[in-house]
Structure 1
């Protein structure tokens, strides 16, 4: 696997990791649940503006309306992802945080990567091998070390709620993969708007007070980059890599967050940080050196996504085309059997 292929997932992890220490600077002035709502609203509203600007200034000749629609057969997958990851997950997390220490919560949040991979491999039958599993173990172990504090781990009702939130986000990740061939910005925008409205509404109903305008604006900007742009990149990575591999790369987000924290609040890293960094680097390296190749069958397939006319996209156009690539339109894939290195992207979701 090339670094270029993995770059959307790593960029998503970097932006999300950066949002944690930046959001921490706002926790004193905004309640946790309201902050989560504003972050998601920043994501949804910011991406909605991007979609509007793209629609106004897009110079492509084909109809742009076709790019801003989710096929009806895929809408249930998207709704399930939004409800699980944007509504149930944050609610369970915020409820669990009330009776759980921050250190314990940080450790438990590492479970999301495990749940994501297990669901992808066991339920959705995504292919894997020993090297990918070892890489995932190394990354999760690094995450545990990064957030470990002696005596911090306690199994309580709050801890179980946080584990439940991780399961919701793992379900979200796997369901989002089912719609990842669609416009990544649109998907991230819809998820942000729904999650933002729900969490903000819950916070206000619980008695939270609206923050000052500067604090709200800061939360919205952090949410746009750390949640919105990050999620759009995450969807692109799902399209290219599949769920388990994307989840593994995204699990290095805490490492980026800690590095940025050291920049904002200078501190000498301890030995656990260096061990965690080494384990996560090892895990990423194991994933990058993966080579999966065998003869496989592509069934007939119809979908829309940005593409070039490579060996998987040999088709004619029923509209005027200026020859620019990549370009986006609805297209059909004829059945094809061949052999080449591949990953469980949107064109390689076959059984083994």
Structure 2
């Protein structure tokens, strides 16, 4: 889930996009928003701004670098320049500016049953009142007549932004059940890292706090080195499958994903998912499968994506067969299988 960044988050380096993606949210807030010419609608119970941020985050993942957008929000009368980063956070790239109020859209009245000229209509048998005739208008010589309003013509749809024409965009996630508000996968890790709540007490509280601080300050390489060293030390003292160590390994996978190492992030997350699966912890296993799936979608090499996808779907299918949260969200697994089909087609063209 994409989220607005904290004020101290640094703006990451954006990719070589020709221009910011133009986003338009109508003043009424109804009918969705236009993101680079593509209509984005909010799911039931979701606000339109969150749907837009989620869509832009998927574009950033597909491109492998942050993307910038100019959001013209007709509801508040301001244009907001944003950058959406790979971790789902967003930051202002400039000061918002006020824009003119949106003019009302002219209504086009079209006769649903046009009658061609020269057609004689059958009599109805009822005489209506005589028509009221306006007196003829008088105009001074040389005064031009008031022109009739121009007929309404449909406006052409804007061409989609180049980023929106990517062939392998991450698919829209299946909507969660209405009674489900649980955050899973890298989203849950990000909330723990970027949230305001202090780190929970435990044997690894101090190093985890240092790792989280490095992530918040944008020192991803420092965070990755510290996480790797802490995982190795904690595995020797507590054991590689100790609950605290497993949470630390989840954090290491998230940091690898932020560092642009999706294959490493995938391996770390899927290994933790397998440990939880063997321990019959279906919730924790599914959360790490979703983390692995997020990293997998950022792998651009189709052949590598196919190899990793086979491992992912094998474990994911086993979780779905066991019931639990994986079985409650079958659309996510189906989306992964659909991507495997696209990767197979891309690999065949190489």
Same fold (TM over 0.5): no
Instruction: Give the number of the structure whose alpha-carbon radius of gyration is greater.
Output: 2
Q: TM-score, normalised by structure 1?
A: 0.25
Q: Which has the higher helix share?
A: 1
Higher relative contact order (CA 8 A, sep 6+): 1
Q: TM-score, normalised by structure 2?
A: 0.25
